[in-house]
Amino acid sequence: MSDKARVRGKISLRRLILIGLALLFLLMAATIGAIKRHLVDSLYDQGEGGRWSRGSGAAQISCFYGSWQGLSEEDIPELRYRLSEILENRAISHETLGLEENARLFALGYSGLGQVEMTGNGHTFTVNAVGTGGDFFLFHPVKLLSGSYYSEDELMRDRILIDEETAWSLFGSPDCVGKSVDIDNVPHYVAGVYKREDDRLTRAAGSSRSLAYVSYDSLRKYYAGSFVTAAYSETSAVEEDYGQLSMTGDTSSADEGTQESGPMITCLETVLPNPVEGFAAGIMKEATGGSASVSIVDNTARFENGALFDIFMGFTSRGMQMTGISYPFWENRARAWENILSLVFMGYCLCLFIAAVIGVILIISWYRHRKWNTASLTRKAADWLYDRQSARVQIAAAQEDPSGRISAAEDKEAEEDDFDFFDDLEDMEDLRTNETVSDGPSSEEGVDTDEKPDIEKGE
């Protein structure tokens, strides 16, 4: 091996350790980023924006109301009309989006929370219930063990979904699709049995008991009590003082003296076109009247890096409740994941930062121990260009190729000369040292420039 190759291959142990550490932290950052993407993708009830538009162009927006100011089912048609009107005014149409004429521009689901009393096979249980309407299961595709989802388009709103635990309690088996369950002595039929998520976060978020999905119409008519979580296993102090006023919607004038019992619609979920960031959230805010007491969440953007950074910076005040809105368990779970993923994201940033600092240290070290300076580099570059041009002219003249091109072998030899320039840079330090130490004329002074070939004459 030549002296030049040995010098080139000599890397200090310190540099090797730094390079290894930089690569390690880059690998850790890539791993943390992959874990973050996997966790976000696993939150199916937050990802309808991506599913709806196959990855871009739409956003999932959620609106949460306080139980005292929620909507009634009669408000939903008007809300759909306002959304259509706003999209039309913003020039959002099938044509501008490149959609087929029969495709939907948006989807809307809604829900309320409460309890119902179920009787089946001689057993009676009071279970938590989510009253659903519209495209609710588009946003919440629970894992079915058997059967199917029910739809708002069905004429009879008497079909329900029950979890596996409720199926065992009522029928002694999860194989109960099509069987009858009485809710307040009114027959309902099991459309499907689903697997309830039972992880720690979901239980802490409020889904710690048996849970049934029924139509919002059935929940409103056969309401048997407030939604119960592990934290509030008994009737709340508010209900003890004010009865069921907080869960009751007044759908008629006070003069008529009538009141419709049952929970209000406290959650709206929609997927809308989102050509620019924040567009869909702005549309939903306009459609709901822009009330400050309505919490509007852009589910599609909530786990992006910028949003997670903002959550981390406001971590100390994250748990403070400034509104009277009681979020459903799926939103509570998503908010918990926001906290977790903000920490994951900061770990990702820390790994990248450390790798970048090590990279800067390596660059500074390389620069300080470089074997060249600007003057020698410029001089060497000029000599190299001159020698390369001379070599090409001599080869072309010697070959006298009619096509005006040199042979492939000679062209390859000329290309290899390109790399000699970078190899010769490592000799600059020795050249500079010789110039300084030597008492005689420098190596450059001994060069007879008259002996260099004449480029123009090709000699």
Regarding predicted confidence, which is higher, 2 or 89?
89
pLDDT at 7: 47
Average of per-residue pLDDT values in the chain:
79
pLDDT of residue 255: 37
Residue 145, CA distances (Å) to 142, 162, 195, 378 in order: 10, 10, 6, 74
- Bridge-based pairing of strands 267-273 and 58-64 is antiparallel
Q: Which residue has the higher pLDDT, 237 or 218?
A: 218
Q: Beta partners for 425?
A: none
Highest mean pLDDT (candidates 189-193, 316-320, 368-372, 441-445)? 189-193
Question: Which residue bears the tokens 């869909």?
Answer: 280
Q: Which amino acid is at 157?
A: R
- Residue 251 pLDDT > 50: no
Per DSSP, the residues of 148-178 read: ----TT-SS--EEEEEHHHHHHHHSSS--TT
pLDDT above 50: residue 19: yes
φ/ψ (deg, to 5) at 145:
-90, -30
pLDDT of residue 337 exceeding 70, the answer is yes
151 versus 280: which is more confidently predicted? 280
The pLDDT value given to residue 416: 56
Whole-prediction pTM value?
Answer: 0.72
Distance in angstroms (rounded) separating the CA atoms of residues 190 and 232? 28
* Separation between Cα atoms, residue 198 and residue 1, nearest integer Å: 66
The residue among 212 and 154 whose pLDDT is bigger is: 212
Q: Is the pLDDT of residue 317 over 90?
A: no
Mean pLDDT within 413-419: 54
More confident residue, 233 or 287: 287
Helical H segments across 63-102, by residue range? 76-89, 94-97
Least confident of 6-10, 75-79, 99-103, 208-212: 6-10
197 CB burial (10 A radius; 0-12, 13-18, 19+): middle
Tell me, what's the pLDDT at 412? 56
Parallel, antiparallel or unpaired: strands 295-298 and 143-147: unpaired
pLDDT tens sequence across 46-63 = 989 888 876 558 999 999
Average pLDDT over residues 308-320: 82
Give the integer Cα–Cα distance in Å for 324 and 266. Answer: 12
What is the Cα–Cα distance from 103 to 112, expressed in whole angstroms? Answer: 28
Query: 395: closest CA among 411, 382, 376?
Result: 411
Q: How many CB atoms lie within 10 A of CB 274?
A: 25
pLDDT tens-digit series, residues 77-109? 999 999 999 999 999 988 888 888 888 899 999
Query: Which residues, in sequence order, are CB contacts of 343 under 8 Å at separation 6+?
Result: 312
pLDDT of residue 116: 93
> Would you call 366 helix, strand, or coil by DSSP?
helix
Q: Domains of the chain: which residue ranges?
A: 51-302+324-330, 370-451
298: β partners: 61
